[in-house]
Amino acid sequence: MLHGPLHEISLIEVLQLLERGGRSGHLRVVGSDSGIPRTITLSRGRIVDLVPDADDANVSLALIRRHLAAAEDDAVYGPAGVPDAVRHATREQLATRALSQMFQWTRGRFDLAEAADPSGPLDWSPDAVVIAFVRREALRFDLAQTLEDFHAVPDFVPPDAGSSHPGYLRLEADDWRVLDAVDGVRDVAAIADLLGEAVEEVGERVGQLTSAAILELHPAIRDVATEARLAIEAGRHDEAISQLEQQLATRPDDGEAWRLLGLAEVGAGRFDRAIAAWQAWAGAGAQRADEASALLGAAHTMMEALRETRD
Amino acid sequence: MTASSETAALVSSLARRLDPDDPEQQAGLAWFAARRGDRATAMAAARRAVGHPDAPQAARRTIELLAADRDEGFLLPHPQPTPTVGHRSGTSPLAAAVAAHREGAPAVAEACYQAAAAVPDLAAAALNGMAVLHAQRGESDAADATWGRLDLVSDPLARHNAILAWWLRGDRLRAVALLESPPPDTAALHHLAGWLHADSGDLRVAHEALLSALAIEPDMARAQFALGVVAERQGDQSAALEATRRALLLSPWFQPLVWLVSPKPGEVVELPADGATGQGTTGGIALLRLGRALLEHGNVAEALAMFDQALLQNPAAPAALFHRGVVLAKLRRYAEALADWDAVGRADPEGPLGSMSRLHARSARELSALFSGR
C-alpha cells in the first residue's frame, strides 16, 4: 500500500506520480483542516471519482440548492429528472472545487488501496485538473485586485441608465442566481457565501454582468463585520467583541455577527461564551450548518482540554 | 405578494434587454421576476417561454406554481454544460506554467508545460521552460534532451538557458561553442559571454562583452554588476565600485544570473539561477571586498547594501553575515546584528569568524541593554 504524509509530498505530486505509473485504486486522503476523509478513485492513473464531494447525494443537493431541481421526492422536477449532461457538469464542478481545496493541504496523509480497474463517473488526467486549479487561482488573484478583495458591493444599474445597450443579452442560470442575491448591501464574498459557490466564480459573473451594464460596483463598505474581522485578525479581541455585541443588540438575527463573536471569544480564551455565540448562530439559521456544528464541537473539545489541564 | 414599483421597474428594464423569442431567457426572467415578487411579469415571461416547442421545463413549473399561488419552489432553466477541466479559449497553459514556475511550484509547472507543449504555437516556449525546470532539479540528461528538441541557434531564450546550464554544470567548452556560433546578438547573451570569459581569466574580452550588453540594454543591472566584478579582478577598485553602485542603484535586488522563460510570445520572465559553481562565489567575494572598502571609508549604508546583495546570492555565507552584523551594530541595530552573528556562530562554530562573532555578540548585547535603558 502506498501512503505518506502530505507535508512531505503534495497531493498534486502524488496524483502525478500515480498517473505516470498508471496505478489503479482508491486514494484515501485526510487533510488536517477537514475531518471528512475524501476518496479519489483512480483508474490507470486517471481520476474517475471523488467521494463524498462529488457523489450522487451531493450532486442532487447541489442541483436543488442551485434551483435546477425541486425536492428529491418530486417525480417530475426532482434531481432524477435533470438531464445527465447537467448532472455530470454539476458533478465535475463539485469535484474540481473539492480538489482545488485539497491541493492546498499541507498537512494530513494519503493511503492508496490498489484495486483492479475501478470505474467512476469522471475521466480526468491529474495534469488537466492541475491546469484547471492554476487557472482558478490565477482568476481569484486577478479578481481580488479589481473587486477590492471581493468586498466590492454590486447593485443594479438604475433602470433607465442601461437601456441604450445594443443587442439582446444572454443570461445563464448562474447569472440569474447572482442577480437574485444582489441587494446593494451584500459584497461579492457575501453573495458567494449565500449561494455556496466559489468566490472567484461569483466574482467572474459579477464582472461580466457589470460589463453588460446590468450591475454596477460600489466601493467596499467597511461594515461592523469587516471591522470586527480586522480586529480579530489583529488580536484585538475585546474590541471586536464590543463592536459585535452592539450590532447584535439591534440585529439579533445577524448570523455572521454571531459567528464572528464566537471567533473573537475563542481568541480571548472564553470558550463557554464562544459556544453560546455559535449556538445563537446556529439558531439564527446558519447557512453553513456543518461549519457551525464543527465549530461547536471544536470549542467543546478546547474547553474540556483546558479544564483537564487546570484540574 | 405584490412587487414594489422599484422592483417592477428593475425587472421590466431587464426584460427589455432579453430576446422575447428565446425560451431559455424568458424562463430565466420568469424565475427572477417570481423570486422578486413580480408575479405578472413572471407569468408573462413563462407563457412566452412555453409558447416555444423547446420550452424549458422550468417555465412550465413557474406557471404551475404561480397558478397555485405559491411563492417558492421556482426553477431555473438547465444550463448548457461546459467542461470544467480541460482547455478553454482565452487561457494559456504556458502562462499558468510560468506563473507556477515563478512561485516555486514545480509539479504544477511541469504539468502545465506538458499541456502547453501540445499546443503548436506554445510548444517552443513550453519546452524551454521544461528544460529549465529539469536543469534546476539537476536532471541534466532530461534538460539536454528537451533542449535537443529546440533550434538553439534561432531561439535566443533557449540558447541562453542551455549555455548557462552547461556552464553551471562545468561543461565550459560546450557552453562556449554554442555562445560563439553564431556570435551573440542579445544583451542577455553578451552578459553571459562576460561571465564565461571572466571565469576563464580572459578579463579584457569579458569587459568588452559586458560593455556590448550594456550598449544594447543600458539599464541591465546584472551586467553592471558583472562589470564591477571584472573591474575588481582587474585591480581597478574605483571602476569596480562605480559599476557595482550603479547596479545596486538600478535594482538593489537584481539576480546576477537568471533563467529566461516566456509566458507568451514577446514576453520574457526572469527566474533566479543558482550560481553556486563559481561565478556566485566570485561575485560574492567581489561584493565583500567592496563592502569592506566602503565600511573602512565610513560609507556605512552602501556597505550594508553590498552585504545584503552578497547574502541574496548566498544567504548562509558566514563572511557576509559577519560583516553585515558589523555594519548593523554601527547603525545601532543591535537585534539584527545579533541575529547575523548568531547565524555565523551556528554556521561556523569552530572557525575564527564564529569566535569573533561570539565576542561581538556579547558586547552588542551589553550595548543593546544600555541603549534600551535596562
CB contact under 8 A, B31 and A176: yes
What's the mean pLDDT in B326-352?
A: 80
Residue A34 — very low, low, confident or very high, per pLDDT cuts 50/70/90?
low
Confidence (pLDDT) at A306: 60
- Stretch among A115-119, B108-112, B293-297, B350-354 having the lowest mean pLDDT: B350-354
* Contact across the interface for A176 and B14, Cβ inside 8 Å: no
The beta-carbon neighbor of B31 closest among A67, A76, A169 is A67
B361 vs B371, more confident: B361
Q: Touching check for A253 and chain B: CB below 8 Å?
A: no
Q: pLDDT tier at B203 (50, 70, 90 boundaries)?
A: very high
- A53-63 mean pLDDT: 95
Number of CB atoms found within 10 A of residue B137's CB:
12
Question: For residue B371, is pLDDT > 90?
Answer: no
Mean pLDDT across the stretch A127-131? 83
Amino acid at B374: R
Mean pLDDT of all residues in B63-87 = 80
pLDDT at A205 over 90: yes
CA distances from B240 to A245, B215, B236, B320 (A): 65, 18, 6, 18
pLDDT bin (cut points 50, 70, 90) of residue B178 is very high
Which range has highest mean pLDDT (A284-293, B226-235, B329-338)? B226-235
Residue B82 pLDDT > 70, yes or no?
no
**Chain mean pLDDT for chain B:** 82
Q: Is the pLDDT of residue B24 over 90?
A: yes
Which residue in chain A is spatially nearest to B61 when comparing CA positions? A77
More confident residue, A251 or B26: B26
Q: Which residue type occupies B307?
A: F
Question: Which of A249-258, B99-108, B218-227, B336-345 shows the lowest mean pLDDT across its residues?
Answer: B99-108
State whether residue A179 sits within 8 Å of chain B by CB. yes
Q: Of A177 and B362, which is predicted with more confidence?
A: A177
Whether the per-residue pLDDT at B282 is higher than 60: the answer is no
**Inter-CA distances, A195 with A14, A65, A189, A201, A224, Å:** 32, 8, 10, 11, 22
User: With 60 as the cut, is the pLDDT of residue A185 above it?
Assistant: yes
Q: How many whole angstroms separate alpha carbon B106 and alpha carbon A256? A: 39
- Position B166 scores a pLDDT of 93
User: What pLDDT was estimated at residue B209?
Assistant: 96
pLDDT reported for residue A64 = 96
Q: Cβ contacts (< 8 Å) between B57 and chain A: which residues? A: 76-77, 81
Write the DSSP string, B74-96: --PPPPPP--SSS--TT--HHHH
What is d(CA A32, CA A42) in angstroms, rounded to the nearest whole number? 22
Nearest-CA distance B158 → chain A (Å): 24
**Cell triple for B360:** 561581538
> Residues B221-235: what's their mean pLDDT?
86
Q: Is residue A217 within 8 Å of residue A153, measured between CB atoms? A: yes
- The span from the CA of A109 to the CA of A14, in Å, is 11
What confidence score (pLDDT) does residue B279 get? 39
Portion 116-145 of A in contact with B at CB < 8 A? 124, 126-135, 138
Is the model more confident about B233 or about B41? B41
Length of chain A: 311
Angle at B173 between CA B170 and CA B178, to 5 degrees: 110
Taking CB atoms and an 8 Å limit, are A169 and B18 in contact across chains?
yes
Distance from CA of A155 to the nearest CA of B (A): 11
Q: Are B307 and B288 in contact (CB under 8 A)?
A: yes
Determine whether the interchain pair B108/A138 forms a contact, defined as Cβ–Cβ distance below 8 Å.
no
- Size of the A and B interface in Cβ pairs below 8 Å: 126
pLDDT (average), residues A184-204: 92
Q: How far apart are CA B243 and CA B326, in angstroms?
A: 24
Task: Report the gap between the CA of B124 and the closest CA in chain A (Å).
Answer: 19
Q: Phi/psi at A97 (nearest 5 deg)?
A: -65, -45
Q: Which grid cell is B97?
A: 506554467
**A224 touches B: beta carbon within 8 Å:** no
- The answer to whether the Cβ–Cβ distance between A173 and B16 falls below 8 Å is no
pLDDT in tens, B147-163: 999 999 889 999 999 99
In sequence order, what are the residues at sequence separation of 6 or more whose Cβ sits closer than 8 angstroms to the Cβ of residue B265? B121, B125
The answer on pLDDT for B293 being more than 90 is: no
State the nearest Cα–Cα gap between A132 and chain B, in angstroms. Answer: 6
Helical residues (DSSP H) of B202-333, grouped into ranges = 203-216, 221-233, 237-250, 279-296, 300-313, 318-330
The pLDDT mean for chain A works out to 85
CA distances from A129 to A10, A110, A223 (A): 14, 18, 37
pLDDT value, residue B90? 44
Which residues in chain A have their CB less than 8 angstroms from residue B25's CB?
168-171
pLDDT at A210: 92
**Distance, CA of A246 to chain centre:** 29
What is the CA B109 to chain-centroid distance, rounded? 12
Angle, CA of A174, B90 and A46, to the nearest 5°: 80
Q: Tell if the CB–CB gap between B107 and A81 is shorter than 8 Å.
A: no
Identify which of B73, B81, B107 has the shortest CB distance to residue A13: B107
Average pLDDT over residues A133-141: 81
Residue B85 distance to chain A (closest CA, Å): 6
Query: Which residue of chain B has the CA closest to A130?
Result: B108
Count the alpha carbons within 13 Å of B332 in the hemisphere toward its beta carbon.
Answer: 6
DSSP E strands, chain B: 258-261, 269-272
Q: Above pLDDT 90, what percent of chain B?
A: 29
**Which of A130, A156, A168 shows the shortest C-beta gap to B108?**
A130
Query: What is the C-alpha separation between A139 and A135, in angstroms, rounded?
Result: 6
Residue A16, chain B, CB below 8 Å: the answer is yes
Cα(A283)–Cα(B313) distance, integer angstroms: 57
Name the grid cell of A201: 466564480
A88-112 pLDDT tens trace? 999 999 999 899 888 888 788 999 9
The grid coordinates listed for B10 are: 428593475
